[in-house]
Amino acid sequence: MRVLVIEDDAETARYIVRALRGEGHEACSQSNGRDGLRVALSGQWDLFIVDRMLPQIDGLEVVESLRRSGSAAAILMLTTLGGVHDRVQGLNAGADDYLVKPFSFAELLARVAALGRRAGRSGATTSLRYADLAIDLLSRTATRGGEPIELLPREFRLLEYLMKHAEQIVTRSMLLEHVWDVHFDPHTSVVETHVSRLRSKIDRGNAMTLIHTIRGSGYTLRATK
């Protein structure tokens, strides 16, 4: 993906660009809102990473301007300390995701990957398939190798999210946000517990395990022998 980072703190910008390039993305940065917007509008980009506080033109305005100009690229906003208004304001302005500084490499890369996938997704789908796993979004049922699997509602949502991001790493915070609609970390094992319960239902008795835990990063749905 071609990623433009608009961030006024040089060290943070360097950190982000390095992480992105390490993953194989093309990345460069601008250090203020005005230049950032100019470069954004005059180039072809797949993803913008915009800091909330920028000199000259502030982050929210940059995001709004990008959307107004008809840009369909994904936008990830960054903010320090996560003020109570920030996330909602950012999403209302047109951002697709929101990340509180400081964040780990893994978190950043996982969210960038998820946004990349989002950009490519087509319209409404009623079923998802990966390997021999299939789920029906209307009837909320799951099968593996044709055999039905009993899932609780929360487990289904978890599986749905994993499948939507198949072969990508999804972090704990992403799961908390999208599966539980919780935007703080309760520091409990709720995510781990649910993932392992799901794993035992999905992977039990199967030679091919699909749900994996990536230490230090999160979880992923991937077909491996």
- What burial class does residue 200 get, using C-beta atoms within 10 Å of its C-beta: 0-12 exposed, 13-18 middle, 19+ buried? exposed
The closest of 179, 143, 138, 172 to 158, measured between CA atoms, is 179
Residue 211 Cβ vs another protein, minimum distance, rounded to whole Å: 18
Q: Report, in Å, the least distance between residue 224 CB and another protein.
A: 27
Instruction: Look up tokens 């300390």; give the residue.
Output: 81
The alpha carbon of residue 199 and the mean position of all alpha carbons in its chain are separated, in whole angstroms, by: 21
Closest to another protein by CB, 70 or 153:
153
The minimum distance between CB 83 and another protein, in angstroms, equals 6
How far lies 200's CA from each of 77, 151, 170, 190, 215, in Å? 36, 11, 19, 15, 19
- CA-wise closest residue to 47 among 72, 64, 65, 24: 72
- Binding residues (CB under 8 A) for another protein: these are 81-85, 88, 100, 102, 154, 180-190, 192-193
Q: Shortest approach of another protein to residue 88 CB, angstroms?
A: 7
Task: Using the minimum distance from each CB to another protein, give the nearer residue, 22 or 102.
Answer: 102
Q: Which residues contact 207 (CB under 8 A, 6 or more apart)?
A: 225
> 30: which strand partners?
6
Instruction: Find the shortest distance in angstroms from Cβ 199 to another protein.
Output: 15
State the nearest-atom distance from the C-beta of 82 to another protein, in Å: 6
Q: Closest CB to another protein among 47 and 191? A: 191
Q: Which is nearer to another protein, 28 or 190 (CB)?
A: 190
How many other CB atoms sit within 10 Å of the CB of residue 3? 25
At 106, the amino acid letter reads A
Q: Among positive and negative, which fits the CA dihedral 10, 11, 16, 19?
A: positive
Tell me whether residue 40 or residue 99 sits nearer to another protein (CB atom).
99
Judged by beta carbon, residue 1 or residue 108, the one nearer another protein is 108
